[in-house]
Each structure stands twice: as C-alpha cells, then as structure tokens.
Amino acid sequence: QESLIAPPRLEDWNRMNRTFDAIAGSYAENVTDTSGEEPERLAGRRVSPRYFDVFNTKTVIGRTFTADEEVFGGPPAAVISYDFWE
C-alpha cells in the first residue's frame, strides 16, 4: 500500500536534509493517451524532482526532466517507457 506525502512536504525534507544527496517519491496516477483514434487509459506515475537521480535511472533515448520542469507549476513534461514509445 502506498503512503502519500504531499509534494511540498517532500521539498521541505529535501531543503532541510543534511544526510542524503536527495529524497524522491512517486505515486500511481492513471493517464489517458489521446494520440490515437480512441482514447486509451494507461497506468502512469507522478514523480518528484530528482527522482531519476535518486534511483540512478538513465534514458535509452531522450532525457529526463529539466530543472524548470521539476518546479511545481513548471511546464508539463513526460518521460515514457520504451514499450510505450514502440
């Protein structure tokens, strides 16, 4: 079972943190792909800033989020899986 932590709280913890390089989190959220003829419901995840750094995750192609995109209210962006891309 997931335990929800408000994104501003996570950012507070990062700001006050003196032990870890960074703290990150995520939560499940369904999204709808409307690029085809019919909308398709997909299982997605919202991730916090530094998520990919904390878990040392690299992309096969493309990039993860920029600093501007990691700010609350910043420009929308998505990282998609290889399977979804194909």
Summarised one tens digit per residue, pLDDT across range 39-55 is 999 999 988 888 999 99
Res 68 pLDDT > 80? yes
CA dist., res. 73 & res. 71, Å (int): 6
Res 34 pLDDT > 90? yes
Q: Provide the whole-model pTM.
A: 0.72
Q: What is the pLDDT of residue 25?
A: 86
- How many DSSP H helices and E strands does the chain contain? 3, 2
Mean pLDDT of 5-14: 82
More confidently predicted of 43 and 10: 43
